[in-house]
Amino acid sequence: GAVVSQHPSRVICKSGTSVKIECRSLDFQATTMFWYRQFPKQSLMLMATSNEGSKATYEQGVEKDKFLINHASLTLSTLTVTSAHPEDSSFYICSATNWAGGYNEQFFGPGTRLTVL
Amino acid sequence: ELKVEQNPLFLSMQEGKNYTIYCNYSTTSDRLYWYRQDPGKSLESLFVLLSNGAVKQEGRLMASLDTKARLSTLHITAAVHDLSATYFCAVISNSGYALNFGKGTSLLVTP
């Protein structure tokens, strides 16, 4: 089956620093990748959608200058949380798919738990 | 805006009992997904339902989709403790491509 990895799985950083999270599709080419954020006891909230080679589309209320998304290849998307603050602490999950490849579902990565001190 | 409502949000049930989780959505869609999430983990895909009347079963779980009623159900048969988890339904509208998630149903199966 389609496998998506994320790195790192956990990260702890100081307030004001930037953190980069990688999302990779390991055995398929992902034309579209999605980034979600999940706070404790809550559902997943879509942050942005990225298509390979084009700018990400951000959901309302998500600061594009704070959450930088790059989808430079068909197997890699990165999310950089710039100048992180404690309120950015959350569980970040990516998913990937290839609609043109006939996939009808998104394949989820294992998630990255970010803690900002 | 596509809204997805799950109920119940919390469910405590005894082992061996049956129960159904409901997922209602607000706009036209024929793509509905069920996921399981264990504490501290990401999502595990359970079912992909792509047409009206679709029914899928895996073990003690069975999911169905009624696109006319905009309703999906996840039925649990003879629950066991290992089914304790949070279950999410998610819908992609026919005019979109992003998943819209329900709030999740936190299921606890007790002896």
CA distance B78 to B62: 12
CA distance B42 to A87: 21
Kindly report the nearest CA distance between residue B104 and chain A, in angstroms: 6
The string of pLDDT tens digits covering residues A15-54 is 999 999 999 999 999 989 999 999 999 999 999 999 888 8
Record: contact A93-B45, CB cut-off 8 A: no
B34 and chain A: CB distance < 8 Å anywhere? no
Q: What pLDDT does residue A40 have? A: 94
3-state secondary structure of A100: helix
Q: What pLDDT does residue B96 have? A: 75
B43 and chain A: CB distance < 8 Å anywhere? yes
Record: contact A46-B33, CB cut-off 8 A: no
Residue A81, exposed/middle/buried by CB under 10 A (0-12, 13-18, 19+)? buried
Q: What pLDDT does residue A39 have? A: 96
Q: One digit per residue, pLDDT tens: chain B, 111 residues? A: 789 999 999 999 999 999 999 999 998 887 999 999 999 999 999 999 988 999 999 999 999 999 999 999 999 999 999 999 999 999 987 777 789 999 999 999 998
The string of pLDDT tens digits covering residues A46-96 is 999 998 888 899 999 999 999 999 998 999 999 999 999 999 999 999 999
Token pair of A45, please?
């909230």
State the residue for tokens 């869609």.
Answer: B29
Other beta carbons within 10 angstroms of residue A53's beta carbon come to 10
